Amino acid sequence: MEIKNSDLDLAIDYFENKQFSDSSEKKFFSKFPVILSYLTSNQFDILSEEEYMILMFEAIVLLKAIEYKQNSMGDAEGAQLEALETQNWDKFESFSNMVFEEKAHKLFDNKSEDVVNFILSGFEPDEDEQDFEEISPAAKEILLISLKTIYDCFI
C-alpha cells in the first residue's frame, strides 16, 4: 500500500473542513492511544512549540491518509513502535555522508516519495507565512524519524 499526494490532500481537506481544534484532535487520537502516548512523551520536549505543532499536524494527516487507504485500522503496539523507532534511527545514522533530504528518501527506501515530500514540506515556510521559525537540524531528524516510525506501524 502506498500513500499518494491525493490521499494526503484528502486528509488535509478533511481537517480543514472540520475546522480542526484541540478537542477534535483529541477525539481523533482517541482511536490511537499508543500513538498519542508516543507523541506526548517527554522525548519531544526538546522541540520548540512550532516544531511540535508541525509534528502533530503531519502525524495526524499521515494517520488520516493511512486510515483512508485501509478503511479501518487499529492502534500501533508499543513494543513494535519502540523497535521500529530504533531501527529507523540506526538506518538513518548509517547514511552518514548524505545531505538530509537524501537521507530522508533513503530512509523510506526511495519509495513513498509523496510521503517523504509531504514530511519535508513541513520544514519549509508556506508562501504566505511571514514569521516562520527555522527548524533546527536536530528537530528535522526527530520529526522525520518519528513520522517514519508512525508510518511503519501501519504500512
Q: Where are the domains of the chain?
A: 5-154
Whole-number pLDDT of residue 29: 85
Mean pLDDT of 62-84: 90
What does the alpha-carbon distance between residue 117 and residue 110 come to, in Å, rounded to a whole number? 11
What does the alpha-carbon distance between residue 117 and residue 18 come to, in Å, rounded to a whole number? 24
φ/ψ (deg, to 5) at 98: -125, 155
pTM over 0.75: yes
Q: Which residue has the cell 529507523?
A: 88
Query: Do 153 and 83 meet the contact criterion of CB atoms below 8 Å apart?
Result: no
What does the alpha-carbon distance between residue 127 and residue 125 come to, in Å, rounded to a whole number? 6
